[in-house]
Amino acid sequence: MKRIINNKIYDTDNCDILVSYFTRVEHPSFYFPSTYIEHEAKIYKTKKGTYLRYIGRAKDAGWSNKNDLDIIDKKELKELLIELNEIETYEKEFGKLEEG
């Protein structure tokens, strides 16, 4: 996927995938309370070190797919990797964690 963000072109075909996971995305409704649907998500790293989050297909077939690509910062990536318990990826990106 290619997208222009902050006057720069980002192409996921030229990035490394760090992690794939499912995330809950809000689908607002005019008549009912919002529904949260799981979507496939991937974290990419560009060759220049920028982290991108892509949110794509819905896990359940009856819902519309997203096609969002945005930049995330290191702090947000660290929090996500901790939440997903992606220890190897965390240590690869940010260095060895201290043992408790």
Each domain of the chain, given as residue ranges in start order, spans: 2-93
pLDDT digits (tens, 9 = 90+) for 55-80: 998 887 777 778 899 999 999 999 99
- Residue 58: per-residue pLDDT: 85
- Residue 60: per-residue pLDDT: 79
- Residue 37: per-residue pLDDT: 85
- Write down the H helix ranges in the chain: 74-83, 87-94
Residue 55 and residue 39: Cα distance in Å, rounded?
Answer: 7
pLDDT digits (tens, 9 = 90+) for 8-53: 999 999 999 999 999 988 877 777 787 888 899 999 999 999 999 9
What beta strand segments (E) does 1-100 contain? 2-5, 8-11, 16-27, 35-45, 51-58, 68-72
